[in-house]
Structures are given as structure tokens and as C-alpha cells.
Chains A and B, each alone.
Chain A
Amino acid sequence: MLLEMLQSLPQVLIDGLALGAVYAVVALGYTMVYGILQLINFAHGEIFMTGAFIGTTFFILLMGMGWVSSVPQIFVLILVLIVTACLTGLLGMGIERVAYRPLRNAPRLIPLITAIGISFILQDVIRFIAELSSGNYIVTGPSLFTDQMTISFSSLSSIFNDASFKTSFLIVLVTAFILMISLDYFINRTKWGTAMRAVALDRETASLMSINVNKTISITFFIGSALGGATGVLFAVQYGTIDPFIGFILGMKAFIAAVLGGIGNIRGAMLGGILLGLLEMFASANLTLLTGGIFGAEYKDVFAFSILILVLIFKPEGLLGKPTAEKV
């Protein structure tokens, strides 16, 4: 049994990393907004989904033009990533302006409810547009970066099987890491990053220190949503097929990842995302083996949720979070 698990381990790790990287970048959006506003931005999953659709549309449009085929695919990807990130960033800022800013002093439940509302609206609007333009809301983009690669783990040790992946996996992973590292730099080393941290710590004091709170929050939303949208593009490249409902499930998982790592904590979200991706992939590949066929891969979400609940019960502040005393 153990042998079988080890055999597939390299492949499981690679698939888990790809999924985990997507979770991690989406989780960043949740955690940034939560850190600064103490708000679960449920619409973030839909921003991710919108990004996937915008990206796919651009891919389809660009591929339709003849000259693109002569340009290396990587440039097309970078172009699409930047354009999509800007558009979804603006979308995120707009949502903040319309749905969250007027409610900043309302009870905590109210903005959560607008968030759910916005996410429903986005889902339906995207579905409508997709259905109107192509007759079907399940959209498949052009396949990019499909070259197969194999890492020969078997040469390391005969226990392991070889692992194979597409180039898109490398691209997803590398882009995700670039995004995460630059965000970390931005938050910790730049003026705006400092302002954000200040606002997150204490909004009123920050405004006394001549920080423009509204602008800082807008920028937070822009960056969080741009990251979400860019991840949407990565998702579309990696998995090919998207529909308007991907944001809901994935957003939920990403939120779990953010909580797992300690919500409000940027590095925690990265760790949580990667960890959740790995755990989920491991569970769906090995649960049958582990439980002797009683629980199958269909229980992988139960597995993920149980881990979340356990972490919250024994370490409510998350893996990397710091416990805070409650203000009276």
C-alpha cells in the first residue's frame, strides 16, 4: 500500500503544486481584503472567473488574427495577463466603490451579503454574455503550451514512477511565484505597501498620519482583483475549459486556504494555498488506498473541510497567523 502511494507521489506532487499555486494566488486576494477591511470578499471567486473569461476571449480573438502565430506564445500570454489583470483590477475597484464603501460603518454582516449578491450578479452576467455570443456557457479556449515534459524520478530511486506534465504547468507555477514574490515585495518594501499595512492595523490612526484611507483601500482591491484575474487566465491556460460557475467552488477553496494559513497574512495565504492543493490532490489519489476502499476520492472535499475545521479549532488564528486579543 505504502509502495503504491510512493510510486505515484511525484506525479501527485506536481499536480498538487499546479492546483495549489492557483489556490495560493486567489487566496492572496481574499487575505489582502480581509486584512484591510475585515471583510470576506465572496465576490473574489467571481473576479477570478471573470478574469478567466476575459483571458479566454482575448486568446480566441488574438489567435483569430493571423500575425499572432508568428509571435512566441509566451508574449501573447504576458500581453493577455497584463490586459486581463488591469481590467479585473478595475472591476474589483468598481465593486468596492459601489458595494462595500457605502457600508463601511454598517454591521459586519451587511457587506458580506452584498458580496454574495455581487457574486451572483457576476455569475449570471458572464453566463449571459457567454451564452449569447457562443450559444453555450461552457467555453473552451485554444490550447497553448501543450508540449509534454517528463521528469525521470525513477532514475532517482526505483520506488518512484516518472512524472509528466505540460509546459503550461511550468508557466502557471512560475507566473504564480513571480506574482507572489512581487506582491510580498510591494507590501513590505514600498510606500503604498506600508500605507496598506498601516490601514490594516488601525484605519483611524492611519488617516491621522495623512494616509488617504479610501485610496489605499481602492488600491488594495485593485491589486487583489488583478491577481485574481491573472490567476483566472492561468487557470484557463492550464485546464482549457471554463464555465461561469468555476469561481464559486474555487473561491471557496481559496478562502479555506487563506484561513488555513492565517487570514490577513500574505505569506500564510501562499502557504495555505499550496498546502491545500497538495492535500486535496493527495486525498483524491490515495483515499481509497488509505481507507481500504470505504472512502473514495469523492470524500476529498470532506477531507479538506475537516482539516480546515481542525486547524480552526486548535489554532483559530491559522498556521501563520498571530493570535490577537479581542478589543472590548
Chain B
Amino acid sequence: MRLKKSVVLLLSSVLSIGMLAACSSKSKGDESANGSNVIKIATQTPLSGGSAIVGESMRLGAQMKLEEQAEKFKELGYTLKLESYDDQSDPKKGVSNANIIGADNSIYAVVGHFNSGVTIPSSEVYEKYKVAMVSPGATAVTVTDRGLKTVNRIVGRDDAQGPAGAKYAIETLGAKKIFIIQDKTAYGSGIADAFKVAAEEAGAEIVGYEGITVGEKDFNGVINQVLTKNPDLIYFGGIYSEAGIIIKQARDKGIDVPIMGGDGMDASGLVDIAGDAVKNTYITSVAGDSTATEAGKKFVEDYKAKFNKNAEAFSVYGYDAMGVILHAIENAINENDGKIPSKEKVAEAVRSVKDYEGVLTNVTFNEIGDNTNSKIYLYKFNEASYPGILEGEVGK
């Protein structure tokens, strides 16, 4: 009897909701059908999880550029809209979001992702729907090496960053015995492997190559190995949350050799965690110092004024990635008699961007979507403040 009642209730309530939804969704449909002059750009970055700070800063950077350009596109007769998605650093979530993005006819391009592990499967989906993607932070080699037409990035590759670090470590810092630690993630092992190969070629001896577990706080076991091996330099492939702790624990154990790492360590969190121990730490980064140029200084100030947060290293890449996309779309519209062309044409326009002058980057995409003008920057931390001091830059 109770079952029947619940059936009755369920049926009737659901039906009424159904009617309502049907009406409302239809009206929603009409609205967007009329609004064909809306250009949506999606961002897909991790807004939660371990890389949330970086993902958030990319999104805000992209949002800032979009809002700045909104006026210009109004004049062309288009409304710009931002849709931000959270990939949670989870490949499944990324693919699922990518399908939503691809299905939306008014989304012409994507700014994202940060994690290479999410970029790779998601970009397979973008390729199917011909949605152009410009990544502000995915550095793994596989991202562009698959030769997909829609995949682009404005940052350097892991196999540029590792060697640049190795070159500096051996030539400038004079390291002969190097201990490598990596965090066993796609990013960490990618960059650590690239460093290892380059360092071996340059004649350094790799005295240890160990993995750690992400999320733990006690890395003394591995650091004890470093202690026995007594290297001239420690290289860490991984992100700032583990790097900070490793630096701190290594310094506590009296290891005062330079510690070097990649762009995953390029976040203010590194200094927060490691504190004073961060001295004598070097990072290679695909992200340049935003404050180096006039435009960069202005960007940092505007960002602070707009969001009441300090710009992170990747904020400006979100900003420039969005800039490249909007630049390409503008070109595409102008070539197509003031009308927005198909997604495929937009993707082609993005790929053919030449010498786009961003705040920090100068973007020219090659045939697989790598930025030929990407640079690797090298920073040193002399005191517990972020960002570090720019030591040099290496062109590709």
C-alpha cells in the first residue's frame, strides 16, 4: 500500500516538474538560438584539489583579458562570454567537461588545462569537435607531439625545461653529482626524466633517482639517502606543496647544496611552506617574471585591483592565452566579412597566429602547436619572498 502511494506521489510530482521543465527549457532554447552573436570562450582549469591556486589564477587572468576585450567585440557585433569549468585535475572530469564544451555551439575555444594528464585525454575530445585549445600551462611532451590540429600551448615543453635546468646546474652552478627526486606524477616524472637525460649527456653523475608519494609530509627517508650520497645538487620534479616540505626537511638535516626544480614549484605556496629554507633554491619556469616589463607591471597592478589577490606566475599566461584566442577570433571575423566562421576555421586561425605580442609572451605557433618563441626562465630564491630573482632566460 505504501508503495502504491509513493508511486502516485512520484508520478504526479515528477510529471508536474516535467511540464515546468519542458516549458522553461524550451524558452531557454529560444533565447540561445536567437543569441547566435554570442561568442563563448571556456576555461577549464583545476579549481579544486592540489593545483587549485594555479588553476584559479589562470582562470582569473583569462577572465580579465576577456572583460577588457568585451568592448571591442561589442563593436564587431558580438558579445563575449566566459564559461569556466573545473577539471579537478581529474582526467575523467576533464573529458566529461570537454564533451559539454564541444557540444556547445557558441563555445569557440578553450583556455586550459594546467595538468598535462588532463590535457591529453581532453584534447582528444576537443579535436573531435574542432574546438581550439590554448594551454597556458601543460608542459608534457605528449600534449603536442600527437600532432592534433586544435592543440596549442604558449608555454615551453618539458624537454626544453629539463635541459635548460641541467645546463644551468652544470655550467653555472658546477654540479657534478646530482640527486634527482620526483613525485611519480606525469608532470614530475616527465620533467625529471628530461633533466636526467640532459644532465647525463652534459657529463654529470646521477647519484640517485627516487620517487616520493604525493600528499605525504615526511620525506626524511629519501632525504637520508641524499645525505649518504652527498650530492652537489638536488633536482626535484614535482609541485610546490611537496617541494616546500622537501626543501625544509633537507635544510633541517644540514643539506645546504642548491635545490632545483621546474615550473610546478613556481608558486607563492613554495615560499609559504619552506620559509627561510627556500634560500639557495633555483627554479626553471616557463613563466617569466610578470613585473619585468612595463606592460607586466601594469598587469600585476590591474589584477590586484580587480580581484584583490596577488597575481600568481600563471595568471599572466591565462591572460595571454585568452589574448591569443581573441586575437585569432578577431582575425577570423575580419577575414570572414565580419561574421564568425565555423569552429574549424577558428582553430586554423589560432594555429596560424604569428608574433602575437602578449604581456609576457610572444606567440608564434609551429605546425604542432608549440610556441616557437617560448622561453625558459631561471629564478633564484635568496630570501623568503615570492617571486624569486630572475637569473637568466634561455630561448628555445
Contact = CB atoms under 8 A, between A and B. Distances in A.
A301 interface: yes
A164 B249 CA distance: 12
Interface residues of A, number: 41
A18 to B, nearest CB: 8
A210 to B, nearest CB: 42
Interface string A17-28: 011000000000
A124 B227 CA distance: 38
A165 to B, nearest CB: 8
Nearest to B245: A241
A297 B210 contact: yes
A15 B244 contact: no
Given A148-B252, A166-B252, A296 B221 contact: no
Contacts of B335: none
A281 B212 CA distance: 12
Contact of B245 (A146, A239, A297): A239
Nearest to B228: A8
A285 B52 CA distance: 32
Contact of B254 (A164, A284, A297): A164
A15 B250 CA distance: 13
Nearest to A249: B215
A182 interface: no
B215 A161 contact: no
A239 B220 CA distance: 11
B252 to A, nearest CB: 6
A138 B210 contact: no
B243 to A, nearest CB: 11
Contacts of B31: none
Interface in B215-238: 215-218, 220-222, 224-225, 227-228
B275 A239 contact: no
Contacts of B211: 296-298
A283 B228 contact: no
A119 B215 CA distance: 17
Contact of A298 (B53, B210, B217, B228): B210
Contacts of B253: 11, 164
A263 to B, nearest CB: 24
A239 B217 contact: yes
Interface in B300-352: 309
B160 to A, nearest CB: 26
B249 to A, nearest CB: 8
A280 B248 contact: no
Given A4-B228, A243-B241, A298-B211, A280 B221 contact: yes
Contacts of A240: 245, 248, 273, 275
Given A135-B309, A164-B253, A297 B221 contact: yes
A140 B252 contact: no
A12 interface: yes
Provide the main secondary structure of the chain B interface.
Answer: helix
A218 to B, nearest CB: 31
A297 B222 contact: yes
A20 to B, nearest CB: 11
A296 B220 CA distance: 14
Contacts of A296: 209-211
Interface in B196-213: 208-213
Nearest to A293: B209
B124 interface: no
Q: How many B residues touch the partner, as a band?
A: 20 to 34
Nearest to B184: A298
Contacts of B217: 235, 239, 241-242, 246
A245 interface: yes
Contacts of B269: 136, 138
A117 B227 CA distance: 42
Contacts of B272: 136, 138, 140
A239 B221 contact: no
A164 B275 CA distance: 20
Contact of B210 (A146, A241, A288): A288
Contacts of B309: 135
Contacts of A249: 213, 215-216
Contacts of B184: 298
A140 B275 contact: yes
Interface in A228-259: 235, 239-243, 245-246, 249
A143 B53 CA distance: 23
A284 B227 contact: no
A8 B224 CA distance: 7
Contact of B53 (A136, A246, A283): A136
A297 B228 contact: no
A7 interface: yes
Contacts of B220: 15, 18-19, 281
29 contacts: A7-B228, A8-B227, A8-B228, A11-B224, A12-B224, A15-B220, A15-B221, A19-B218, A19-B220, A135-B309, A136-B53, A136-B272, A143-B275, A148-B254, A161-B227, A161-B228, A235-B217, A241-B244, A241-B245, A242-B217, A246-B215, A246-B217, A249-B215, A281-B220, A281-B224, A285-B222, A288-B210, A298-B211, A300-B213
Given A136-B272, A140-B272, 16 more contacts: A8-B225, A8-B228, A11-B227, A15-B221, A19-B220, A135-B309, A137-B52, A138-B273, A146-B252, A241-B273, A242-B217, A297-B210, A297-B212, A297-B222, A298-B210, A300-B221
